[in-house]
Amino acid sequence: MTELQENGVLAIAQKLIEQHVLCDKCLGRQFGWLGTNTTNDDRGHSLKLTLCMSADAQLKSGEKELASNAIKLLASNGMFSPAKMIAEKNNIDYEKQDACYLCTIDDESVFARIPLIAERVIGLAKDIEFETFLVGSIPLPLLAERQDELSAIHSIMHAETLKSHFNRELGIQLHDLLQKHVDFDKPDVVFVYSMESDELKVQINPVFIYGRYRKLVRGIPQSRWDCKKCRGRGCDECNGTGRKYQDSISEYVGIPTQGIVDGSRFKFHAAGREDIDVLMLGDGRPFVIEITEPRVRTPDLNEITKSINKEAEGKIEVHKLVLTDRHQLQKLKEDASTNVKEYEAAIATDSPVTNKQLKQVEKAFKGVVIEQRTPQRVAHRRSDLIRKKVIHEIRFEKHNNGLLRATFKVQGGTYIKELISGDEGRTTPSISEKLGTGCKCEELNVTAIYSVGSQ
């Protein structure tokens, strides 16, 4: 016993209740990282019970004064019922206490609020679809300070914080009531309770839907493009619309999706982008649509597909929608500049070229690395540097309208228009350079994007 009494668990417990009124939960929490498969409530109760039994033994062996003091303490500061009963039986007076030093807010233990908070969570969660949740709380600063102070004074090494104890207890109740799982990594929803203001908030994590879009009409930007002059407010130049382009792929995809999952905002992410005047054909370009605060998490993806395609009236088309996550979104972004893309282009040449010349150029671009300095036309929004890109293959065909038809298989992020024209020497080698005549891209379509991240 001597070792225990000096600086052991029991000795610290004794010192703590000598100084403060502590409920079972808060006393037990001081040793929350000790022992396993138990609760702080049980830890606190067991410590008090041990102290109480040892006092009772003293009492029974005749050490009345020492024993009465111990019983008195457990009955008042410990608020411990067995001690209260012994005190009453033996006519030991004690001061009645009911406010635990570490968990009382407005004359009530914050733990006593849990059933009510749980009811409020149920109300808040009523119209939200979710499978997993997490509970968070903002502790009352005064209580957190008191805990820190106690830990310092008594060199308490194994205490759990009030916040984490409270979160767990509320989480256990909610788990039973909601029949949903707690997820610490990526919960669908997080309920956050403020002890000070008694406010309860719900944070709904976004849903991510992966898909591929085809763009079948030229002149549509990928993201919303506001009027430069009025910055979206509306002016003469944009006929009061606030827009430079009236529609965008992002809005064609985002608005119907946001409506169906009942979210508050959307963000459109795509694996690269084509120019406004370029079509996206073939299987389409991979994208992820992120919807903030969705009330529906498992929407009918067919319904979303149909709704998007109907609204877009054949200008764009989406398919292969699947639910995904943030991880897939990162992969989509990382892939954008490394995946392989195929294009077809109509090229005008300043002077006629022969089939022989074309064969030579095809050969010259087989599996080569080209250097592209940031094109003049995008220099205002991209930093000026030289990018190396792999050209896997280029094939030509002469068309009877005098244009060349070319197909390209290249690394993502290659500027095709500049690969054709040379961009005044900024892209090298270029088709123009190899053919020895001025070349201009008249029309461009993306025909395939092979994405590592495709599903």
Q: Does 26 contact Zn ion by CB under 5 A?
A: yes
Tell the smallest beta-carbon distance from residue 69 to Zn ion (Å): 23
Q: Does the active-site annotation cover 127?
A: no
Which of helix, strand or coil describes residue 30?
coil
Nearest Cα neighbor of 278 from 420, 398, 393 is 420
- Exposed/middle/buried for 157, CB within 10 Å: 0-12, 13-18, 19+? exposed
Determine contact, residues 422/434, Cβ cutoff 8 Å.
no
Contact between 79 and Zn ion per CB under 5 A: no
**Rule CB under 5 A: is residue 100 a binding residue for Zn ion?**
yes
Task: Note whether 162 binds Zn ion by CB under 5 A.
Answer: no
Least Cβ distance, residue 228 to Zn ion (angstroms): 8
Spatial separation of the C-alpha atoms in residues 227 and 289, rounded to whole Å: 24
Assess 353 for contact with Zn ion (CB under 5 A).
Answer: no
**C-alpha atoms less than 13 angstroms from C-alpha of 18 in its C-beta half-sphere:** 10
Segment contacting Zn ion (CB under 5 A): 23-31, 44-52, 213-221, 325-333?
A: 23-31
| Residue 115 CB coordination number (10 Å) | 11
Q: Rule CB under 5 A: is residue 403 a binding residue for Zn ion?
A: no
Please tell me which residue in 275, 283, 300, 335 is annotated as part of the active site: 275
Phi, psi of 203 (to 5 degrees): -115, 120
User: Cα separation of 404 and 348, whole Å?
Assistant: 6
| Count of residues touching Zn ion (by CB under 5 A) | 11
Could you tell me how many residues make up the chain? 455
* DSSP conformational letter for 361: H
Rounded Cα distance, 78 and 376, in Å: 78
Cα separation of 99 and 149, whole Å? 18
301: contact with Zn ion by CB under 5 A: no
Site membership for Zn ion, residue 189 (CB under 5 A)? no
Tell me if 238 contacts Zn ion by CB under 5 A. yes
Q: Taking the complex as a whole, how short is the minimal distance between the CB of residue 166 and Zn ion, in angstroms?
A: 10
Q: How far is the CB of 268 from Zn ion (least distance, A)?
A: 23
| Residue 143 binds Zn ion (CB under 5 A) | no
Stretch that binds Zn ion, among 95-103, 198-206, 326-334, 378-386 (CB under 5 A): 95-103
Q: Is 235 in the site for Zn ion (CB under 5 A)?
A: yes
**Part of the chain binding Zn ion (CB under 5 A), chosen from 153-161, 190-198, 215-223, 236-244:** 236-244
Q: State the CB neighbour count (10 A cutoff) for residue 65.
A: 9
Catalog residues that contact Zn ion under the rule CB under 5 A. 23, 26, 100, 102-103, 227, 229-230, 235, 237-238
Catalytic sites, residue numbers? 275
